[in-house]
Structure 1
Amino acid sequence: MSISLNPYLIFDGNTKEAVHFYEKALGGKVIGIMTFGDMPADPNHPLTDDMKDRVMHAHLKVGDSDLMFSDTFPGMPYQPGDTVQIAIHPREEARAREIFAALEDGGQVVMSLQKTDWSPLYGIIKDKFGVTFQVNVPMEQPH
């Protein structure tokens, strides 16, 4: 049986900004962004202009992986934090440094990029949206 999993990140009204930030930082491609306003109107639940502009679902392709996003529906609770972390495994150290530096823009280094027992280059960064990334260059596998 095959199964696929992907991180789904929830924001509070700034999903569009986050999607485009990650598109640039991770070298991804936006597959689609759908707002609540793109859905057929429901006369029993009219949307304000602010609600219509919030993202219901966004999809970013990064390499062979998928990142998905949405905004909370206005009035729903939102608690930023470390409940989801994203592990990124670039094969080249130079690419790892580029990604780390891009995510550091407006963010905070939790653990600087460094050699570890399991990786020639590993670090943890919390970006400006409060999302924590682990950047991990895989060890060379013996052939």
Structure 2
Amino acid sequence: MTDPGVRTAPLASPIHAILLAFPVALYPAALVSDIAYLQTAVVQWTNFSQWLIAGADLFAGLLLAWALIAFFFGPGRRMGARGARGRSLLYLIVVASMFVTGFVNALQHAKDGWHSVGTAGLVMSIVCTVLALVAAFIVHSRTVVTETRS
């Protein structure tokens, strides 16, 4: 039984979770296609990676904008949620890092042939994948307890 003066609230809204789902799916798919290119040297895999990264970057940009709005105007700021500001700031840093790394990764993949993936492209795809999964873990790992006053 819960205390009637305390309620739990998720860190992110459902729209935020939908926007986060795209980078969580597309960055690992780009990593898999990078690995496939390194194994087969078929150029179509790099084209596939470019499109996956572009889609992930699009939604990562929207996600970053939504995270900024939530950080400055979200319910954690108004209701004084314990720990919500720290988690929101950490989440904002992770999403911003994911977006910047994804953008640089897109530029790396725009190069020609073998230079597009190589070591740098593969490492950036791994970093983007890990950051997307960390962002999802931060948002969905636990709820924030807020105190309601009447």
TM-score, L = length of structure 2? 0.25
Q: Could you say which structure has the greater relative contact order, defined with CA pairs below 8 angstroms and 6 or more residues apart?
A: 2
Of Structure 1 and Structure 2, which has the larger fraction of its residues in strand? Answer: 1
Greater CA radius of gyration, 1 or 2? 2
